[in-house]
Amino acid sequence: MAGYKIAVVPGDGIGKEIVPQGVKVLDAAARKFGFDMEYTHFPWGAEYYKETGEFMPENGLELLRPFDAIFFGAVGHPDVDDALPATLYTFRVRKGFQQYVNFRPVEFMPGIPTPLKNKERDKVDFVILRENTEGEFTEKGEILHPEKPFGSALAFSLFTRHGIERIGHYAFKLARQRRYKVTNVTKSNTLIHSLRYWDQVLQEVSKAYPDVRYETMYVDNASANFVLHPEHFDVIVTTNMIGDILSDLGAAIMGSLGLGPSGNINPEKEYPSMFEPIHGSAPDIAGKGIANPISSIWSGSLMLNHLGELDAALAIKNAIFEIVQKGMLPADLGGSASTTDISQAIIDAL
């Protein structure tokens, strides 16, 4: 019997509510499909920072390294600087473990009210692949003389051939498993050095996949098409910041940020990958029992898919789609089902 060691980091706010529900669903899938899940919990996040002065211990990556995957919630607290969670936890894990693929599916669900009421639900199904370790989020730069009239700020982006090629190859290989189409979302008409190079390298990569349709689309046009023609897309490959923004738009057209799952993936499995909902810690609704756990549970499905438990991963996703089609909706989708109501319904559907 296969067994997997999972590091569980619920984080802050609603992370402490939705991650345990995700674990319950993972356990139900494990029982049904005959594999074992062993969990180790870590109390890291913004509240941990308030108590200890650090989001995770100095040897945090060393502690996480032996695990098969990381199941993560969200970090952030109203009393803690918003810039710290990414710098001291998220970026540290993504870069330290070479999780260079940020995988975010966008798929319309039956029974979910969406802002795009004129779209056929089965036609909207695409994946946003965001380069996850370099690009605009290098944290390199400085603020000079901030209080002076001539104060200024500098920020540096980093685009390497190695980084662009590896996310590009992942995108084209994924497209071969889907509908054979890759859209490079860029802004090279104005960022004429960094993103022109991004386009150049992706164009070179595309030549190794002549069976896959390849196109380039500026991000302003892509944003419009997310709303007007979302059925146009199959696999989107884009930069760290553009992907960060577009994936929230993708979840919004699905109906709620509470639906959006993601994986921070090291495809070679040299390091553990991390799976998390795309939303934040939502302190305004924390502790009320109304947080939507679907994003966390679907992230668990992505984790099982990465680990090779394909049948279990698909069963969880199908169970999610089944219960929402039957009207089991949380508050953010206009329903009255609680966090635990949703997870239990998914377990029952399994």
End-to-end CA distance of the chain: 20
Residues with Cβ within 8 Å of residue 135, at least 6 apart in sequence = 157, 158, 159, 163, 239, 240, 241
**Token pair 């975010």 is at which residue?**
104
Domain 114-254, architecture per CATH: 3-Layer(aba) Sandwich (3.40)
Tokens of 294: 């679907």
Tell me which residue of 26, 93, 21, 14 sits closest to 57, measured CA to CA.
93
236-293 residue pLDDT tens: 999 999 999 999 999 999 999 999 999 999 999 999 999 999 998 999 999 999 999 9
pLDDT of 117 reads: 81
For 209, which DSSP code?
A: -
For 90, which DSSP code?
A: I
Q: What is the mean pLDDT of each run of 10 residues along the chain (350 residues)?
A: 94 96 98 97 96 95 98 94 91 97 95 85 91 93 94 95 98 98 98 97 98 98 96 97 96 93 97 95 92 96 98 98 94 93 96
> Domain residue spans in the chain?
1-107+256-350, 114-254
Is the torsion defined by CA of 267, 315, 10, 64 positive or negative? negative
Say which amino acid occupies 189: N
pLDDT of 111 reads: 86
The H or E element containing residue 103 is strand 101-107
Could you tell me whether strands 181-186 and 235-238 are parallel, antiparallel, or unpaired per DSSP bridges? parallel
Cα distance between residue 18 and residue 288, in whole Å: 12
pLDDT of 123 reads: 85
Domain 1-107+256-350, architecture per CATH: 3-Layer(aba) Sandwich (3.40)
Cα distance between residue 127 and residue 124, in whole Å: 10
pLDDT of 120 reads: 79
Contact status, residue 32 vs residue 347, Cβ threshold 8 Å: no
Residues with Cβ within 8 Å of residue 162, at least 6 apart in sequence = none
Q: Do 114-254 and 1-107+256-350 fall under one CATH topology?
A: yes
Burial tier of 41 (Cβ tally within 10 Å: 0-12, 13-18, 19+): middle
Cα distance between residue 244 and residue 128, in whole Å: 9
Burial 100-119 (b: 16+ CB within 10 A, else e): bbbbbbbbbbebbebebeeb
Cα distance between residue 167 and residue 187, in whole Å: 17
76-113 residue pLDDT tens: 999 999 989 999 999 999 999 999 999 999 999 988 88
Burial tier of 177 (Cβ tally within 10 Å: 0-12, 13-18, 19+): exposed
